[in-house]
Amino acid sequence: MNGDEENKIDAAIERIAVLEKAYDELEAQTKAQLLVLKEQIRSIAKAELRALYGDEQKYLGSVLYWHHKKWVAVRTVGDGIGLSEHSVYTWVYAAEYKKKCVTCGAEFGEPMSSRGQMGASWHSWRTQCPSCKQKADEVSQRKLTAWQEERARNIEALRTMPYSEYLQTDHWREVRRRAQKRAGFRCEICNNPEGIQVHHRTYERRGEERNDDLIVLCENCHRTFHENGKLVRDYGGAS
Ligand SMILES: [Zn+2]
Ligand SMILES: [Zn+2]
Ligand SMILES: [Zn+2]
């Protein structure tokens, strides 16, 4: 390396170091500003709590505790109300939080269980009242049952129809396509990509085959396997 190149490298390192220093300074500055804001939020929370009494004070404390956990510590609520952290826990956990049902509009209270669970689920299913929720559960249970029954009927039909008819079904076409894809469109014995066929190793689960129930073979290997009787007998089909 000549002197010129060394100078270039030094200059590059220096430019990067300048940016790194700027980054660190900005990071430290931002953190300090965030801390100031956090302190402001806490002191406002405390002041607002101290300005209230009785149930209203507890209600605001409860809202702060459940909805502002990023900034408002239990200690902040305790300080504002003049209670120990332990007492705050006792009454916030016992509190019922008023919510409005999204389905019927009724107001209802629900006991809180954990501050951690709150966030994400708050605006979704938790805002249905218990009776609407039960109705919705029953509807989805009925749908699930109907779906399961239909699936069972479909499988039964696939299992009992003549094999030649089975080979024409969308189900088999899809199962066969997926088996070929899994095998990389090659014979699983000799790697030949031409004229591949999908063979049932067992018919036990016809209509709901597992991956292991099938093997992808080229014409040659398929014939050899059948001649040697290594695989189960086909039911007169082309598979
Ligand atoms: Zn409702
Ligand atoms: Zn083969
Ligand atoms: Zn076969």
Structure-token pair, residue 9: 């490298």
- Place 124 in a pLDDT band, splitting at 50, 70 and 90: very low
Unique residue bearing structure tokens 């699930």: 144
CA dist 175 and 181 (Å) reads 10
List of residues 6+ apart from 60 with CB closer than 8 A: 48, 49, 52
Say if residue 110's pLDDT is above 90.
Answer: no
Q: Where are the domains of the chain?
A: 1-82, 95-160, 162-228
**pLDDT tens by residue, 140-196:** 999 999 999 999 999 999 999 999 999 999 999 999 999 999 999 999 999 999 999
Q: Which residue has the higher pLDDT, 35 or 114?
A: 35
pLDDT tens for 210-219 read 999 999 999 9
Q: Which two tokens stand for residue 68?
A: 């502002």
How many whole angstroms from 100 Cα to the centroid of ligand 1?
8
User: Which residues, 6+ apart, have CB-to-CB distance to 216 below 8 Å?
Assistant: 179, 180, 182, 183, 186, 187, 188, 196, 197, 198, 199
Flag whether pLDDT at 128 surpasses 60.
yes
* The CATH fold of domain 162-228: His-Me finger endonuclease fold (3.40.1800)
Ion ligand 2: protein residues whose beta carbon lies under 5 Å: 187, 189-190, 192, 218, 221
Q: 233 pLDDT exceeds 60?
A: no
Instruction: Determine the length of the chain.
Output: 239
CA of residue 221 to ligand 2 center, whole Å: 4
Q: From ligand 1's centre to the CA of 130, what distance in Å?
A: 7
CA-wise closest residue to 93 among 132, 137, 61: 61
Q: Which pLDDT value is given to residue 184?
A: 96
Distance (Å, whole) CA 78 – CA 71: 14
pLDDT band for position 227 (50/70/90)? confident
